[in-house]
Structure 1
Amino acid sequence: MPDTSDMLIFWSVVMLRFFIPLFIPIYPLPAVIACLILDMVDQTIFQLFTSLPLEGYQSYDKALDNYYLAITYLSTMRNWSNLFAFKISRFLFYYRLVGAALFELTHLRGLLFIFPNTFEYFFIFYEAIRLKWNPIVLTKNKLITATALIWIFIKLPQEYWIHIAQLDTTDWIRANPSNALILIGWALFLLGMAWLLLRDLPPMKSGLSFAADPVPVIQRERFEQETKISFPAVNSSKKFFDNALFEKIMLVSLLSIIFAQILPGVRSTNLQLAIGMAILIIINTALSHWFARRGTHWRSIIQEFIAMSMVNLGIILLFDFLLPRYDGSINLFSTLFFVLLLTLNVTLYDRYRTMHVRSQEAVDSGK
């Protein structure tokens, strides 16, 4: 049985991997880099400072990776003013999420090569540009080229190296120090490609923009006019079963299936889990529409998260009370985890998608 110090270290790392991503919507680039660093060193921390078995590390790592990538994707709804870049990021995110879910179900490493995590590096590219330029200067051609370069020359080699060849870079260089020259040449090639891609951008702005804007800023044609988008109330007049509802169901269901592979005591099948998440999301969406019709406005996203968590907790406790009367049961711990995961993602999605829709409307009205 693991000793107390081992579990303290383990849960400290896990909590960091859960809480650091919450800063991504506010400090996109620093928070994502912090997540990347923690992702790279957590296994080393476990190996050096604990005696914990690491047989299930791959699934644990992929689950937490997809958790923070989901928040990263949701932050693009809040922050990204370049709408074509957002469309690319949405495709890249769901492409990887589907691949990660398939990997957890089949444990075929080749799937991680076929479905590379291009989204993460594309996000870093965009936010790195935002440090010194308004991202609206990134044209469709530049964004497509950047995506192709990241996919082909960064992520495919990396995914092959880690998941197919299962090689360690440090051991590879230690075996033949001249191999470091290959990495240096590869890095210089990527820097050259980046220079060719960005050399004709307008002059850089002063300072560095590490923090996200409070609300999206859309710059219209010729970058001359800025329109700040205020956060509006939920529009309850729109139809209930829309693309947003289906996207929330897909997002939370895929995340839940991935986490179900590492959580102890999950007795439901993947289909049952997805159906349960869908029902809860529909209930949450119905409540949001009801609140909107009553003119209820959340003062903060934290207030909304707490309120919806209490509602969902009540629903789960009701099920926990009623199911034994009909020869049924749920694992309360696992169910509460899934409910908190659902509530967090749905709350962020609803809030940030509204901002994104208003951003699109501002761009369309400026055409």
Structure 2
Amino acid sequence: MASVFVMLARLLIPFTIFKWPLGGAILSIIADASDVMIFQVTGYGYFDYFGPNTYHNLDKFFDIYYLFFEFLVARRWANMFARRTATFFFGLRFAGIVLFEITKIRWILVIAPNIFENFYIFWTVALKWFKNFKLETYSRLFIILFIVGAPKIAQEYLMHYVYVDQTWNFIRDNLFWWVYR
């Protein structure tokens, strides 16, 4: 039953991005982050029948699925710098996920990090609470990309290269230990 709940949540929550671009994105991130924890507590349900990597592969689809909703919102941004930057980084991540699924080479996820999502969140926050913020120069864009991109590249490197398949164990044991008592 939990597997059905997780799939429905991952499929339906991204629609909230159209109504609430920032809130829907945060809900989608929470759904993405919590699915593995839910499965570790309840079991993988229907996914157990198809092998151990079934949900891992489906998870990548769900990630791109909700990022696509964010991309559609980003395509409507008035600021050309923001719109083009979002388009580039969504395309990079999409290509990276497709190449990773074909080749299973983990370095691809480091080379094609999900900077799109961090940039999307940055820009939606700027639009909502910092209406006077201007993104008009490449130097300002570079600074923003460094701020949102460097932590994401480090995270991708640690998750997909250094601590392969151990990241969730760290998060579980150090942040959500109380769920697993």
The TM-score with structure 1 as length reference comes to 0.42
8 A Cα contact 2:159 2:167, kept in partner: yes
Deviation beyond 4 Å, 4+ runs, structure 1: none
Q: Indicate conservation of the 8 Å contact 2:100/2:108, yes or no.
A: yes
Give the secondary-structure state (helix, strand or coil) at the position aligned to 1:25: helix
- Give the 3 Å change call, closer, same or farther, for CA 149–123 of structure 1 in structure 2: same
Runs of 5+ in structure 1 lacking a partner?
1-7, 176-367
Shift of 1:170: 6.3
| Aligned equivalent of 1:74 | 72
Partner of 1:58: 56
Q: Larger radius of gyration, structure 1 or 2?
A: 1
Deviation of residue 129 (structure 1)? Answer: 1.1
1:143 matched to which residue of 2?
141
User: What pairs with 1:215-294 in structure 2 (closer than 5 Å)?
Assistant: none
Question: Are the structure 2 counterparts of residues 41 and 98 from structure 1 closer, same or farther at C-alpha, using a change threshold of 3 Å?
Answer: same
Alpha-carbon spacing, 1:170–1:91, altered in 2? closer, same or farther (3 Å): same
Structure 1 residue 138 displacement after superposition = 2.4
How far is 1:128 from its partner?
Answer: 1.1
* Equivalent in 126, 140, 151 of residue 129 of structure 1: 126
Distance 2:140 2:44 in 1: 48
The 8 Å contact of residues 113 and 156 in structure 2, kept in 1 or not, is answered as yes
Map residues 107-256 of structure 1 onto 2, 5 A cutoff: 107-134=104-131, 137-140=134-137, 141-151=139-149, 153-165=150-162, 166=164, 167-168=166-167, 171=170
Aligned pair count reads: 166
Identity of aligned residues (%): 32
Q: 1:91 aligns with which of 82, 88, 92?
A: 88
Query: Which residue is 2:177 aligned to?
Result: none
Provide the rounded CA distance (Å) in 2 between the counterparts of 1:10 and 1:51. 6
1:58 is displaced (CA, Å) by: 2.1
Q: What is the one-letter code of the residue matched to 1:102?
A: L
Asked if residue 16 in structure 1 is aligned to residue 15 in structure 2, the reply is no
* 8 Å Cα contact 2:3-2:44 kept in structure 1: no
TM-score, L = length of structure 2: 0.83
Aligned counterparts of 1:51 and 1:139: Cα–Cα separation in 2: 47
RCO comparison, higher one (Cα < 8 Å, 6+): 1
Contact 2:81 2:135 in 1 (8 A): no
Instruction: Tell me the equivalent position of 2:179.
Output: none
For residues 36 and 105 of structure 2, the distance between their equivalents in structure 1, rounded to whole angstroms, comes to: 21
